[in-house]
Structure 1
């Protein structure tokens, strides 16, 4: 992987980060409203996956900003 992202790549990474934050919020909120245990388990798994993706994107963007 290259050390530097282009401006358009950085903007796209920010867009993905925003989308993942919305997904995390929605899954977390809906898991509290769901009554079906299987659905709750799926939503809980989605929350964990989204948290991991958000962390990876934040690390990528933080390292990018440190290199600038």
Structure 2
């Protein structure tokens, strides 16, 4: 059975995907400028988590088959 997202759900997912992409870009960019090792670690962990979140959101948009 194929399930389709509603228009508002698709728009919400795109907004979340845009926000998470911006957060990932900011974490990656700032980690190159930071000198404190603890803060670098925090930003690296945030970037890794952000990448996973983006992949999950992309699956919601592209995978429309029922689980």
Fold match (TM-score > 0.5): yes
Cα distance in 2, alignment partners of residues 46 and 19 from structure 1 = 14
When the two chains are superposed, the root-mean-square deviation of aligned CA atoms in Å is 1.5
TM-score (norm 1): 0.88
- Structure 1: which 5+ residue stretches go unaligned? none
For this pair of structures, how many residues does the alignment match? 64
Higher helix share: 1
Q: Give the number of the structure with larger relative contact order, counting CA–CA contacts within 8 Å between residues 6 or more apart.
A: 2
Q: Which residue of 2 aligns with 1:17?
A: 17
Moved over 4 A (4+): none
1:6-58 deviations in Å (ceiling 9; x for gaps)? 10011000000000000000000000000000000000000000000000000
Q: Tell me, what secondary structure is at the counterpart of 2:63?
A: helix
In the TM superposition, what is the alpha-carbon distance from 1:63 to its structure 2 partner?
A: 1.2
Q: What are the ranges of 5 or more consecutive residues in structure 2 without an aligned counterpart?
A: none
Name the structure 1 match of 2:34.
Answer: 34
Give the distance between the partners of 2:5 and 2:46, measured in 1 at CA: 28
